[in-house]
Copies of this chain bind each other. A is one copy, B any other.
Amino acid sequence: MALVVQKYGGSSVADASCIKRVAQRIVATKKAGNDVVVVVSAMGDTTDELLDLAQQVSPLPPGRELDMLLTAGERISMALLAMAIANLGHEARSFTGSQAGVITDSTHGKARIIDVTPGRIREALDLGQIAIVAGFQGVSQNSKDITTLGRGGSDTTAVALAAALEADVCEIYTDVDGIFTADPRIVPAARKIPKISYEEMMEMAACGAKILHLRCVEYARRFNLPIHVRSSFSTKEGTWVVSDPDSEGTEMEQPIISGVAHDRSEAKITVVGVPDKVGEAATIFKTLADAEINIDMIVQNVSAAATGRTDISFTLPASDGPTALSALKKVQDRIGYESLQFDDQIGKVSLIGAGMRSHPGVTATFFAALADAGVNIEMISTSEIRISVIVGQDEVDAAVSAAHRAFDLDADQVEAVVYGGTGR
C-alpha cells in the first residue's frame, strides 16, 4: 500500500461539479489501495474576491488579518471536498494548516515552513480516512497566528506534508498534462516532458515556467520526494520530477535541452555613468538589497577609458521597479551616477538542460537560431544547465519558437492541450 499526497489547484475545484469530479478521482486512488492525503487550494476566484473585499475596507490591511481572511478560501474548498467524498461513501476529514501541523515563521503573506507535525493526519490515515488539508496556510510557531505561505504555497504544503509523512509520491494536479518543452500557447509543437531532474525543474521554475513554484521543487529535492505533475482532467501520465531521470533507463536518450522557458514579468534598470571606482557596484546592490528587491541578471559594461565611467544594468521583477528606482534616486549623490533608465518591455528566454554539461556548442546553436529569427540579444546569463537571454518583449515568441526548433524539441504531431493558470 502506497501513501499518495495529491494537490489540487484552484482551477481543479472551481465549482461544485469540479469538486465532485476531483472527489471521484481521490476515491479511485483510495480504492486502488492507497492511503490518500489531499492538499487543496481555494476555489477558482475566491482569493481574488477576498482580496477585493479587503481593499474595500482598508487600502493597506495588516498582514495578520489578511492571512486570516485569505485562509477562509481553503477552508471552504476543503470542507466541500470532504463532503463530496463522504457522499461517495468514503470517510474524509478536512484539516486546516494549523490542524495538519504546518508550523511556519511569522512572516505574514509569505511565511516559511519551519516544521511539519502531521500527527492528526496520521491518525486519520490509521482510521482509514482520506485526509483533506488546506494548502497555502500554516500557524506561526511563536504567536500561534494563522499565516499564509505566499506564491506557490499550496504546492509547497503538499510537498512538505508528503516529505513529513514519507509519502511515496506527491501528485500535483493542474489544468495541463504536465511540464512542456515550451509554453504550448507559443509553440504548438511543444511536447510533454516525461521525466525531468529537480535541478532542471528549478531552473525552469526560476525562468518563468509557471506550473511548479521554485520553492516546492527545492523542498522536494531536499527530501528526494518524487513529484508527479499531471492533469486533473485526464488520467494520462504527466511529468515526473525526480533526482535522476536517466536512472531507470526508460528514455532512449536524454535530450540535450529539456525545455525552453520564458518570462515577461521582469524589467531592466540601467544605472548610467557610474564612476569606475572600487565599491560603487557594491553600494548599488546593497541599496537594492536593503529595499528587499531580488535582482536577477546583472551586466556591467567595460569602462570607457575617456570618461572613467561605466553603465550597470540589471533585471528585476517589473512590479519592484518603482521601489528600486526610488531607492537608487536616494543614493545618486553618494554614488555620483548620471541617470537611471527603466525598461519594462523586455522578456527573458531560457534554455534549460542537464545535457549542456556534456555538450559543447549549445550556446552557439542557440544564438545562431536567435540571429536567424532576427532577435536581438540585450543581456546574457548562464548557469551550468541554463542559458538565459533578455530580448525585446515583442520578440519573446519568436525567440522561444526558434530555440525550440533549433534543438529538435518540436513534436511530430501537435497534442491538444489546455494551458492556463494554476491557482496558488
Contacts and interface: CB of A to CB of B under 8 A. Distances in A.
Interface of A: 16, 19-20, 23, 50, 53-54, 56-62, 64-66, 68-69, 71-73, 75-76, 78-84, 86-87, 92-94, 99, 120, 144
A86 B62 contact: yes
Nearest to A57: B84
A55 to B, nearest CB: 9
A83 B99 contact: no
Contacts of A94: 65, 68
Residue in A60, A62, A71 with the greatest tally of chain B CB atoms within 10 Å: A62
Given A72-B72, A72-B75, A75-B71, A54 B66 contact: no
Name A's interface SS: helix
Question: 10 closest A-B pairs (Cβ-Cβ)?
Answer: A16-B56, A69-B79, A58-B87, A68-B79, A61-B83, A58-B83, A57-B84, A72-B75, A72-B72, A65-B82
A88 to B, nearest CB: 9
Nearest to A78: B68
A365 to B, nearest CB: 52
Contacts of A99: 144
A170 to B, nearest CB: 24
A390 B199 CA distance: 78
Given A16-B53, A19-B57, A57-B87, A62 B82 contact: yes
Contacts of A83: 54, 57-58, 61-62, 65-66, 69
Given A16-B57, A53-B80, A54-B83, 17 more contacts: A20-B57, A53-B76, A57-B87, A58-B87, A61-B86, A62-B83, A65-B79, A65-B92, A66-B79, A68-B75, A69-B75, A69-B79, A69-B80, A69-B83, A72-B75, A72-B79, A75-B75
Contacts of A61: 83, 86-87
A60 B84 CA distance: 10
Contacts of A64: 93
Nearest to A67: B79
Contacts of A75: 68-69, 71-72, 75
A144 B54 CA distance: 30
Nearest to A98: B98
Residue in A60, A82, A144 with the greatest tally of chain B CB atoms within 10 Å: A82
Given A62-B86, A64-B93, A75-B75, A57 B80 contact: yes
Contacts of A66: 79, 83
Contacts of A23: 57
A53 to B, nearest CB: 6
